[in-house]
């Protein structure tokens, strides 16, 4: 029986690699109507570049990341300066050109690295085998299956117009702001939708009325979120636990009512429409246009990386460690002389600024600032993303937002009642996966790591062994 399972697993692993190869080939043919007979040569080039980078002393993980980027850069150079001159020719010239390119690449690889082949050793984490009952399988092959499966699931994101990818980053920003409160300060707030909505309204108003450039508009959106968070936090942090949660929920309903009634500013039910999307400019010099979805995605990605880095600096600073102390034992932190309210208020303001920035980016992405952005359901969605990803780690927020947006986009095309499945998932997370997707990933890595002894095992597992 085990031999059949082994063959099935081998077939799945090789099949997933062939699937990715086939996808690349079909993309070229589907978009360019171009038959690429040099596709396998690029596969060969990627393998040897990975070997060369690893042989230079760079880690396996960096090699795995950099090699595809270098192959992609080489492919861009070939297409940009040579291949586009062949498009208008008959198909047999396409074949002739790509066969010639394949021969050139093949002989170049043999000339540089020799004809006998080389080995790339996987890291210690991926060496050895995984045992499940009587089934034994190499860890590295399981890693290959897992990575290719994830890439296959992310293909719709890569092949989309760019709006879906932008939406992931926008809500990842909002989840980062929420995680700073929930994961690092222990404050479960239903006011995140307020800051998101205020940010989108602020960006919409200044772009429509004042015709400001992109960066000042986003700065004002973040400022609007921060000021609103200062107001909400000033009153809310005086309460704890359930009372704090209910107070933020009350503020959410109040701001929703204000947005609904202030039609001259917010547009009421209709929201703000036709919000422009100016290019990324500095001192009047256009750095990057935002006309297409992918151009705007690039701008959002740059801002996301910058905000992520700044937040990581915050949580690694004295302020971040103090917030963790407040979360773990508020009474002890107060006894040590820390101003608990001031610390919570600082976390609230930073969270509001980040979430307000996300709201401003969302308004530019969609071209509208609807009333739904400031609804309670927006706070609920941001909170769900944060919890699904896992609290207390910024990267977990990115996982949670990606899962929520991508799963929602996919499931909504299959079943109009997809929220029922999301509800079941939330129940499962509450019961079996309290640390979210990030915690699950850590468990998998811990299981794959060789030489883990009981002193490193989870306390729960040790306790179970003692009672068994």
pLDDT tens for each residue of the chain, 468 residues long? 567 777 787 787 788 777 777 777 777 776 667 778 888 899 899 989 988 988 888 888 888 888 989 998 998 888 888 888 887 788 778 888 888 999 999 999 999 988 887 777 787 778 777 776 666 778 888 888 888 877 776 666 666 556 888 999 999 999 999 999 999 888 999 999 999 999 999 999 999 999 999 999 999 999 999 999 999 999 998 888 888 999 999 999 999 999 999 998 999 888 999 999 999 888 878 888 888 888 898 899 999 999 999 999 999 999 999 999 988 888 898 888 889 999 999 999 999 999 999 999 999 999 999 999 998 889 999 999 999 998 888 999 999 998 888 888 877 777 778 778 878 877 887 788 878 888 888 887 777 665 544 444 444 444 444 444
What 8-state DSSP symbol labels residue 121?
P
Indicate if 205 and 298 belong to the same structural domain: yes
User: Whole-structure pTM over 0.75, yes or no?
Assistant: no
* Residue where a domain stops, chosen among 99, 129, 157: 157
**Residue 224, in any domain of the structure:** yes
Half-sphere exposure of 257 (CA within 13 A, CB side): 6
Per the structure, the complete domain to which residue 31 belongs is given by 2-157
Please tell me the distance from the alpha carbon of residue 9 to that of residue 23, in angstroms, as a whole number: 21
Indicate if 298 and 227 belong to the same structural domain: yes
**Residue-level length of the chain:** 468
Indicate if 47 and 184 belong to the same structural domain: no
Indicate if 236 and 145 belong to the same structural domain: no
Please tell me the distance from the alpha carbon of residue 398 to that of residue 140, in angstroms, as a whole number: 26
Question: Is residue 344 helix, strand or coil?
Answer: helix
**187 and 347 in contact (C-beta within 8 Å)?**
yes
Please tell me the distance from the alpha carbon of residue 82 to that of residue 97, in angstroms, as a whole number: 10
**Predicted local confidence at residue 458, as pLDDT:** 45
Indicate if 143 and 167 belong to the same structural domain: no
Closest Cα to residue 391, out of 116, 86, 156, 180?
A: 180
């Amino acid at each position: 029986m085990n031999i059949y399972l082994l063959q099935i697993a081998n077939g799945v692993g090789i099949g997933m690699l062939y699937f990715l190869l086939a996808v690349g080939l079909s993309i070229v043919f589907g978009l360019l109507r171009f038959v690429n007979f040099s596709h396998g040569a690029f596969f060969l080039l990627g393998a040897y570049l990975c070997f060369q980078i690893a042989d230079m002393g760079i880690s396996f993980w960096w090699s795995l990341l950099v090699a595809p980027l270098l192959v992609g850069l080489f492919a861009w150079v070939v297409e940009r300066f040579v291949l586009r001159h062949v498009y208008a020719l008959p198909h047999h010239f396409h074949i002739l050109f790509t066969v010639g390119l394949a021969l050139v690449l093949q002989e170049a690889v043999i000339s540089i690295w020799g004809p006998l082949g080389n080995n790339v050793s996987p890291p210690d984490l991926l060496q050895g085998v995984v045992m499940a009952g009587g089934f034994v399988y190499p860890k590295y092959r399981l890693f290959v299956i897992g990575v290719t499966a994830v890439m296959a699931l992310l293909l719709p994101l890569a092949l989309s117009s760019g709006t879906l990818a932008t939406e992931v980053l926008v809500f990842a920003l909002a989840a980062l702001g929420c995680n700073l409160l929930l994961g690092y300060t222990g404050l479960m707030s239903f006011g995140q939708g307020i800051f998101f909505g205020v940010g989108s309204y602020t960006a919409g108003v200044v772009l429509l009325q004042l015709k400001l450039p992109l960066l000042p508009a986003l700065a004002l959106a973040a400022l609007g979120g921060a000021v609103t968070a200062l107001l909400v936090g000033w009153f809310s942090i005086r309460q704890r636990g359930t009372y704090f949660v209910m107070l933020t929920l009350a503020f959410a309903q109040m701001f929703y009512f204000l947005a609904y009634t202030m039609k001259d500013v917010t547009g009421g039910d209709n929201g703000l429409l036709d919000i422009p999307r100016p290019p990324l400019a500095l001192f009047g010099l256009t750095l990057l246009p935002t006309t297409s979805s992918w151009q705007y995605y690039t701008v959002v990605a740059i801002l996301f990386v910058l905000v992520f880095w700044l937040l990581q600096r915050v949580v690694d600073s004295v302020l971040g460690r103090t917030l963790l102390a407040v979360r773990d034992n508020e009474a002890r932190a107060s006894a040590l002389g820390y101003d608990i309210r001031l610390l919570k208020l600082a976390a609230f303001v930073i969270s509001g600024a980040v979430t307000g920035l996300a709201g401003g980016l969302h308004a530019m992405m969609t071209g509208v600032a609807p009333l739904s952005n400031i609804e309670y359901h927006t706070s609920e969605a941001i909170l769900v993303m944060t919890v699904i990803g896992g609290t207390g780690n910024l990267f977990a927020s990115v996982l949670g937002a990606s899962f929520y947006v991508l799963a929602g986009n996919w499931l909504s095309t299959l079943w109009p009642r997809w929220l029922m499945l999301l509800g079941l998932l939330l129940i499962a997370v509450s019961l079996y996966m309290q640390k979210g997707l990030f915690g699950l990933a850590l468990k998998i890595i811990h299981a794959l790591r060789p030489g883990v002894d009981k002193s490193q095992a989870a306390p729960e597992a040790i306790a179970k062994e003692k009672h068994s």
